[in-house]
Every structure is written in C-alpha cells, then in structure tokens.
Amino acid sequence: MALPSTLHHLDLRLADADRGIDQAIALKVARHPSETMERLWLRVLALAWQWREGIAFGPGLCDPDAPDVLANELDGRIALIVRVGRPDPERVARDVAQGGGAKVAVLFDGPRRMEAFVAEAQERGLARLEKAELAAVDPPLLAALARREDRRLRCELTLAGDHLYLAVESEHLDGPLHRGRVDGSSR
C-alpha cells in the first residue's frame, strides 16, 4: 500500500516590493512521501516568486511531466508554467514551445544547478529557452528552511529586488535570488 501525502498548512504573508504585492495567503501544501523538505520549500518559494491571481500548485511528483506551479487566465488558458529543482532543459523548451504564450519560469535549488542547466541548454542549441525566466535560491537559505518540518507554520516572505527575506515563526532568514539566462544566439 502506498504511503499517503503529508499535508502542510502555511499561513504566508507575502510582500513583493517591486510588484506592489502585500497579501495574506493560506496555503495547503501536499508533500509526497518521496519529496524532500527542500523541494517542498522550493515549490512554496516558486509560488510566492511568481504570485498572481489563479496561481496553484501542480499535481506534484504523481505526474512528473506536469508543472510544479501553474496559473490559468480567466478563460482557462494557461498563463504561467513553473518548474522547480532540476528540470530537463528539453522539458522546459517544450513548455515554452507548447505553452501558447504562457510565461515559463524555473526556480533552481542552487546557482550551480542553474548554471549547469544554462550550459546544457546552450550546448543542445535550445534557443527558445531564452524566453524562460530562470532563478536560483541560495542553498544555505533552502537548507535552513528545510529544517522546518512543522505541519503548521506562519511565515512572512518579502521579495525586494533579487533578495528574499523570511520570518518563519521566530526565525529570521534571508538570501539572494540568483538570476540566469539562456543566450539564444550562442551554439
């Protein structure tokens, strides 16, 4: 018999200085039995980083081809596709090609992973990936968040420029959001 997912409740106060967002969000995040806390927090950070109306978590590890976070327009068209962790460049290139104009973003679990992705994409000649927004969370920040396995948490997250500031219960954390880009002109 398969193990059930663990449900984590997160009361998130999200502020994004650049986009003028200040919102209280109640999240229920299902953690697949094989999912690490780092990946769960990466999904939460991706949702906050790309916050917009209609955003939601994807089906998760149950459907490996599905996005980790997505958003739909009011008419049902896909508006946003987000992948986290270690996605295959070919998969992300298909998201860009088949997304019907949807914004495509990837949040990596560290700058080295993002650099390897960019190098592989450029080596394969995946020029369409220049349209994808790429960012990476600082590994020490992700590791500190992953130590919090509480099933109910209060969290304040502020994005200011390319920096994340978090207050998780009484612990204060921060770290840079590293940016990357695939240069579509190189091969």
Q: Which domain holds residue 35?
A: 6-180
Read off the pTM: 0.94
Nearest alpha-carbon partner for 47 in 87, 81, 93: 81
CATH number of the domain where residue 39 is located: 3.10.640.10
- Does any domain span residue 147? yes
- Does any domain span residue 155? yes
- Does any domain span residue 51? yes
Q: What is the tally of structural domains in the chain?
A: 1
Q: Are 120 and 143 in contact (CB under 8 A)?
A: no
- Does any domain span residue 186? no
Confidence of residue 187 (pLDDT cuts 50, 70, 90): very low
- Does any domain span residue 134? yes
- Does any domain span residue 75? yes
- Does any domain span residue 114? yes
Overall average pLDDT of the 75-79 stretch: 91
The three-class DSSP label of residue 168 is strand
Amino acid, single-letter form, for residue 117: F
Per-residue pLDDT tens over the stretch 109-164: 999 999 999 999 999 999 999 999 999 999 999 999 999 989 999 999 999 999 99
Amino acid, single-letter form, for residue 183: D
So what's the pLDDT on residue 186?
A: 47
- Does any domain span residue 187? no
Read off the tokens for 7: 């449900």
